[in-house]
Structure 1
Amino acid sequence: MNFFVTVSGRRIKQGFLIVMISFFTALFYFSQSIVQFPVLSAKDEPKAIYKGEKGVALTFNIGWGDIQAEPILKVLEEKKVQSATFFLSGAWAERHPEVVEKIKEAGFEIGSLGYAYEDYTELEDQQVRRDIDRSLEILKKLDIKEVKLLRSPTGHFDKRTLKIAEDMGLTVVHWSLNSQDWKNPGVNAIIKNVSKVKKGDIILMHASDSATQTAKALPEVLALINKKDEMVTVSYMIANGKVKTTLIP
């Protein structure tokens, strides 16, 4: 009888161990499956893209000034960069059509940064829609007609913002790596921030006049990106492979 009880105990332990291993294996694969969401999800929750699967997307915000943009464009030209995404404020584009033309002629992708520098989470729905609409009208007048990407001017957004953008046929693009260049922390600090770049990252940089050190840091930033992966536009990243999105409660 004692022998029978001992063998049964071993079998129970073995069975329990197998069950636990199976459980954690299933949990692991489940957690991996929810890491990435496709852009067009079956779920209705609004989403903002912040990371991709293939390539590295270098993005620039421009909200004011005409001093820093041209040196940045010059560096991109010298380094033969063909894939970058610029998010332009409508108010800025309206005042600097000649710089917009240079961005367009260089073949860079252009998205909207709204019209005015407004925090969309603090505006009524109608105001958010009006600001986005106004920016799209300005870009259309400047012969930039196929605008599909939107970045919230202050980087802040909520479910309402994402729903409005979705209704307008726009995809909200955030970022996974912030260069912090707008703080002007020093060229080396900007480079160090970008040195964390990984495959699939969307990098935030600025070409506004507030970012006075970006152009100087850019050559090394480009070298860092090229060591990691191919540089692509945000649209290419969306169209080729999965992208990570963030859900807003």
Structure 2
Amino acid sequence: MSFYTWRMEKVKRYGVVIFLALFCAILMWIGQMGQLPVFSNDGEPKALSQGSEEQPYIALTFNISWGNEKVNDILDKLETHQTKATFFLSGSWAERHQDIVEAIHEDKHEIAMTGYEYESYTEMEPEEIRRDIQKAKEVFEKLGFEDINYIRPPHGHLNEEILAAIEQEGLETVQWSLNPRDWENPGTNTIIDQIMGTGSKGDIILLHASDSVKQTAKALEVIIPGLKQKGLEFVTITELVSGGKAKITQE
């Protein structure tokens, strides 16, 4: 092999090494960007999707927009296992079921909102979104809940305009990192397996307590003690946020 060829091969090898090093550095930088403070506002509104992986915290969250037959079973399971959760309620549902809202509060669960009508915000203008949120605020204030901080947009539908409108109303957007789609009633074991198989530190679990769910309460009998055996502690969204940094998402 000539000296020139040897030099070219050496340059190629070093070039590959340098490229890989730069690639790894970029990946590390992206990873660090994913650990911005919770709801950090660097000019763009954000949504919380997962808590810190440095703390053994996990959050159970329940959406309710209609019905009153399933929620009490779920509250009973949470009480039996001494587990806290965060309930995202539509204002119209809370208005119709004030006694259940009070029961949720008395059981020391956190109350958050999904707006008033539970209609997709992607179909609304920003001003309509704000009016829906304001109407929900009025309902919860009348029920004695003046300090609601979190909202989950109806159906989880989200974009930059929705995030901006929510921020203007002084609320923080919360989504999820783990969704077994319990409202589809895929089977109790399927719900259990999805949560137990991937549930870990910082997860926000999306479940439902509307009348559409037929298997969620039974699944909780296994999920709650199972996740506790993994060393995880159930906390509210407020506690998850205050426990450290959290991953954020932007639509």
What's 1:247 paired with? 250
Query: Structure 1 16/80 Cα, relative in aligned 2: closer, same or farther at 3 Å?
Result: same
* One-letter code aligned to 2:46: K
What is the number of equivalent residue pairs in this alignment? 246
Aligned equivalents of 1:141 and 1:42: distance in 2?
31
Query: Structure 1 158/16 Cα, relative in aligned 2: closer, same or farther at 3 Å?
Result: closer
Aligned equivalents of 2:211 and 2:5: distance in 1?
78
Query: Structure 1 45/218 Cα, relative in aligned 2: closer, same or farther at 3 Å?
Result: same
Bigger drift between 238-247 and 24-33 goes to 24-33
What's 2:79 paired with? 77
Q: Is the 8 A contact 1:150 1:171 kept in 2?
A: yes
Q: Please list every run of 5 or more consecutive structure 2 residues that lacks an aligned counterpart in the other structure.
A: none
Identity of aligned residues (%): 43
User: CA offset at residue 157 of structure 1?
Assistant: 1.6
Query: Structure 1 211/11 Cα, relative in aligned 2: closer, same or farther at 3 Å?
Result: closer
Determine helix, strand or coil for the equivalent of 1:116.
Answer: coil
2:165 is aligned with 1:164: yes
2:26 is aligned with 1:27: yes
| CA radius of gyration, larger in | 1
What's 1:220 paired with? 222
Query: Structure 1 7/208 Cα, relative in aligned 2: closer, same or farther at 3 Å?
Result: closer
Q: Is the 8 A contact 2:62 2:209 kept in 1?
A: yes
Q: Please list every run of 5 or more consecutive structure 1 residues that lacks an aligned counterpart in the other structure.
A: none
User: CA offset at residue 220 of structure 1?
Assistant: 0.8
Cα-Cα RMSD: 2.0
* One-letter code aligned to 2:70: Q
What's 1:51 paired with? 50
Give the TM-score taking structure 1 as reference length.
Answer: 0.90
Matches within 5 A, 1:1-249: 12=11, 15-16=14-15, 19-53=18-52, 55-81=57-83, 83-195=84-196, 196-228=198-230, 229-248=232-251
Bigger drift between 88-97 and 215-224 goes to 215-224
Bigger drift between 141-150 and 7-16 goes to 7-16
